């Protein structure tokens, strides 16, 4: 089945007389007939549900669809994209371990790594995603447990060369984790280029309607943890909290996701509500139609913006003259990577603000990647505490506007941008 059909029919497969739509199992708990049946679930000896903090059948049906879309063997939904990134790393790392990450990642992920996980004793080295394999390899240490990157970085738009990062990681014997939020598996499937684990903020295009926050982790099943029993002792060695069970021995290719459920969800929570999983599934049913339109409209708008004399610069990897255009052609289905771009207005911060305030159709919101077109000015919003000099050091020019192109008629969006440009 193609990705388009899987968007509609992946996951929940109703049998005779069963509901066509995935049922919402709004229940914290599940009933059993004997004490032993329940005990077997607690020991992970039998499959089944017992408490929704660990797993819920509605969530699992939707996770199964995302696993199929990515071409993976198993997936788990989380309550946010942040929870997905946290669990993806904590499933492999503990205090004293080290991670190599692309420096071009979502700001929230950067804070999670550089501040919060660092406080827990996990060390991070950030590398330029455009660095050579030899330069990236230099960042790896004996205690490195994984390499992390973002397919299309939010907001910088930098495109990750997945095969390059995978090669370096595999040569060393660690997996590559890729945040594939912006392209979604419809436009890019990182496993095909060597990534081992994929994470998502389903909050963005997968939900697609600004209706709920969520995340997902998918395992390709390709990384052989048992080849490195000491490095990945958490997956290979006996887990004392499950009477000495080894995840790899007991669950094979499902080991990573079973551990995320049985260990991290059990201890840290962060499960999404089954109703949110239901809403996510509604979004997924049209993802293939929506994301292509987002990407196509963004390219139309980017080409138009580039021709405007009052626009200083446009950064969008879908543009033929983008330094990432070749990589997009190699890694993506189609030549436009997503619906999000950045651009600057001549005259800097003040002009950019005046321009944004003049927009009528395009809204000012923090979010990106949903049906409504929107803009954000990092210098006034997400990064407002920084001076112009500090912004430049962080790679965010003071005039930078992030534009997320929605599902409206692109000509209406261009008309709105045009009237706002005329007012400055
Ligand atoms: C939004 C976002 C996240 C975080 O997701 P939340 O659901 O907001 O926690 C992670 N990665 C990327 C690329 C994002 O755009």
Residue 378's pLDDT band, with cuts at 50, 70 and 90, is confident
Query: What does the chain come to in residues?
Result: 424
Helix (H, G, I), strand (E, B) or coil at 42: helix
Q: Ligand 1 within 6 A of 272 CB?
A: no
Q: Ligand 1 within 6 A of 109 CB?
A: yes
For residue range 191-205, list pLDDT tens digits in order: 999 999 999 999 999
| Alpha carbon 350 to chain centroid, angstroms | 32
Flag whether the pTM goes above 0.75.
Answer: yes
| Ligand 1 centroid to residue 81 C-alpha, Å | 5
| Ligand 1 centroid to residue 39 C-alpha, Å | 37
Nearest to 130, CA basis, from 293, 288, 1, 322: 322
Residue 116's pLDDT band, with cuts at 50, 70 and 90, is very high
Q: Ligand 1 within 6 A of 52 CB?
A: no
Whole-angstrom CA distances from 160 to 147, 303, 334 are 12, 23, 16
| Ligand 1 centroid to residue 338 C-alpha, Å | 15
| Ligand 1 centroid to residue 209 C-alpha, Å | 15
Order of strands, sheet of 374-376, starting from the edge strand that comes earlier in the sequence: 311-315, 340-345, 400-404, 374-376, 363-364
| Ligand 1 centroid to residue 199 C-alpha, Å | 10
For 2, counting Cβ atoms within 10 Å of its Cβ (0-12 exposed, 13-18 middle, 19+ buried), the class is exposed
Residue 386's pLDDT band, with cuts at 50, 70 and 90, is confident
Q: What's the confidence (pLDDT) of residue 66?
A: 98
Please say whether the beta carbons of 144 and 101 come within 8 A. Answer: no
| Ligand 1 centroid to residue 78 C-alpha, Å | 12
> Do 3-283 and 289-421 have matching folds?
no
For 240, counting Cβ atoms within 10 Å of its Cβ (0-12 exposed, 13-18 middle, 19+ buried), the class is exposed
Nearest CA to ligand 1 atom 8: 81
Nearest CA to ligand 1 atom 12: 106
Pocket-testing residue among 78, 102, 104, 106, ligand 1, by greatest number of atoms within 8 A of Cβ: 106
**Residue predicted with more confidence, 291 or 348:** 291
CATH topology for 289-421 is 3.90.1150
Contacting residues for 130 by C-beta, under 8 A, at least 6 apart = 158
Sorted by where each begins, the domain ranges of the chain are 3-283, 289-421
Q: Ligand 1 within 6 A of 179 CB?
A: yes
**CATH 2.40.30.10 holds for 3-283:** no
Residue 387's pLDDT band, with cuts at 50, 70 and 90, is confident
- Give me the residue label for tokens 């089944």: 48
Pocket-testing residue among 78, 80, 82, 107, ligand 1, by greatest number of atoms within 8 A of Cβ: 82
For 34, counting Cβ atoms within 10 Å of its Cβ (0-12 exposed, 13-18 middle, 19+ buried), the class is exposed
Pocket-testing residue among 108, 216, 367, 382, ligand 1, by greatest number of atoms within 8 A of Cβ: 108
Nearest CA to ligand 1 atom 1: 201
Q: Ligand 1 within 6 A of 298 CB?
A: no
Pocket-testing residue among 116, 156, 181, 216, ligand 1, by greatest number of atoms within 8 A of Cβ: 181
187-191, 206-210, 352-356: which range is least confident on average? 352-356
For residue range 80-97, list pLDDT tens digits in order: 999 999 999 999 999 999
Average pLDDT over residues 415-419: 98
Mean pLDDT of the chain: 95
Nearest CA to ligand 1 atom 6: 81
39-43, 144-148, 213-217, 410-414: which range is least confident on average? 39-43
Dihedral through CA 176, CA 288, CA 110, CA 269, nearest 10?
Answer: -90
């Amino acid at each position: 089945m193609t990705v388009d059909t899987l968007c509609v029919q992946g996951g929940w497969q109703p049998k005779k007389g069963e509901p066509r739509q995935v049922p919402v199992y709004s229940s914290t708990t599940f009933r059993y007939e004997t004490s032993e049946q329940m005990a077997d679930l607690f020991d992970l000896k039998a499959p089944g549900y017992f408490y929704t903090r660990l797993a819920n059948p509605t969530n699992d049906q939707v996770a199964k669809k995302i696993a199929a879309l990515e071409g993976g063997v198993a997936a788990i939904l989380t309550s946010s994209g942040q929870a997905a990134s946290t669990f993806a790393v904590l499933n492999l790392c503990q205090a004293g371990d080290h991670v190599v990450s692309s420096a071009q990642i979502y700001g929230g992920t950067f804070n999670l790594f550089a501040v919060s996980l660092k406080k827990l004793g996990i060390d991070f080295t950030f590398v330029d995603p455009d660095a050579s394999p030899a330069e990236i390899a230099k960042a790896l240490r004996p205690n490195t447990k994984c390499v992390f990157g973002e397919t299309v970085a939010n907001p910088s738009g930098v495109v990750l060369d997945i095969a390059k990062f995978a090669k370096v990681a595999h040569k060393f014997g660690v997996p590559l984790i890729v945040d594939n939020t912006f392209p979604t598996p419809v436009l890019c499937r990182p496993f095909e280029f060597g990534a081992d684990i994929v994470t998502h903020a389903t909050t963005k295009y997968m939900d697609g309607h600004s209706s709920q926050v969520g995340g997902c982790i998918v395992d390709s099943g390709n990384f052989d943890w048992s080849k490195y029993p000491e490095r990945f002792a958490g997956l290979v060695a006996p887990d004392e909290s499950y009477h000495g069970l080894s995840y790899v021995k007991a669950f094979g290719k499902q080991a990573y996701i079973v551990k995320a459920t049985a260990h991290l969800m059990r201890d840290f929570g962060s499960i999404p509500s089954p109703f949110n999983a239901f809403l996510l599934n509604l979004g997924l049913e049209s993802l293939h139609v929506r994301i292509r339109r987002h990407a196509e409209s963004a390219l139309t708008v980017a080409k138009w913006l580039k021709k405007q004399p009052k626009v200083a610069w446009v950064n969008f990897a879908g543009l033929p003259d983008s330094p990432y255009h070749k990589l997009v052609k190699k890694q993506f289905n189609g030549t436009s990577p997503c619906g999000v771009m950045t651009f600057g207005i001549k005259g800097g911060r003040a002009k950019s603000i005046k321009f944004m305030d003049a927009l009528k159709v395009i809204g000012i919101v923090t979010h990106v990647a949903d049906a409504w077109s929107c803009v954000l000015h990092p210098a006034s919003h997400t990064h407002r505490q920084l001076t112009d000099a500090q912004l430049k050091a962080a790679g965010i020019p003071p005039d930078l506007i992030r534009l997320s192109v929605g599902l409206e008629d692109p000509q209406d969006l261009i008309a709105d941008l045009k009237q706002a440009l005329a007012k400055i």
